[in-house]
Amino acid sequence: MKTNRYDLTRLAVLYFPDSTEKNARRRLLKLLQGERDLWEQLTALHFGRYQRTLTPRQYELIIRTLGLPDSDDDFGNWAR
């Protein structure tokens, strides 16, 4: 059964593959906050700093703004 949530830490690791999971998550959050328009749109979609999963709308907004991560991982299979 497919869920409608995307794991934030797994996405962070795809963007920052040389980092630990914890550090990749921190770096992604810092990047998201640095993009003021993106951060405002995410908070309007009820995104919070301590959130562990992304809704489909939050996920699409991040991907649309930042682009797909450069990763050898099969991007279509990473969502939980």
pLDDT tens digits along 13-35: 999 999 999 999 999 999 999 99
Query: Does residue 17 sit within a domain?
Result: yes
pLDDT band, residue 80 (cuts 50/70/90) = very low
**Could you give the CA distance from residue 26 to residue 9 in angstroms, rounded to a whole number?**
9
pLDDT band, residue 77 (cuts 50/70/90) = low
SS3 (DSSP) at 7: strand
The residue count of the chain comes to 80
| Pairing of the two strands 53-54 and 6-7 | antiparallel
How many domains does the chain contain in total?
Answer: 1
Query: Does residue 74 sit within a domain?
Result: no
Query: Does residue 55 sit within a domain?
Result: yes
Q: Which residues span the domain enclosing 14?
A: 7-66
Query: Does residue 13 sit within a domain?
Result: yes
Question: Locate tokens 């301590």: which residue?
Answer: 50
**Could you give the CA distance from residue 43 to residue 39 in angstroms, rounded to a whole number?**
6
Query: Does residue 27 sit within a domain?
Result: yes
Predicted TM-score (pTM) of the model is: 0.81
Percent of the chain with pLDDT over 70: 82
Query: Does residue 45 sit within a domain?
Result: yes
Query: Does residue 76 sit within a domain?
Result: no
Q: Quote the pLDDT of residue 70.
A: 81
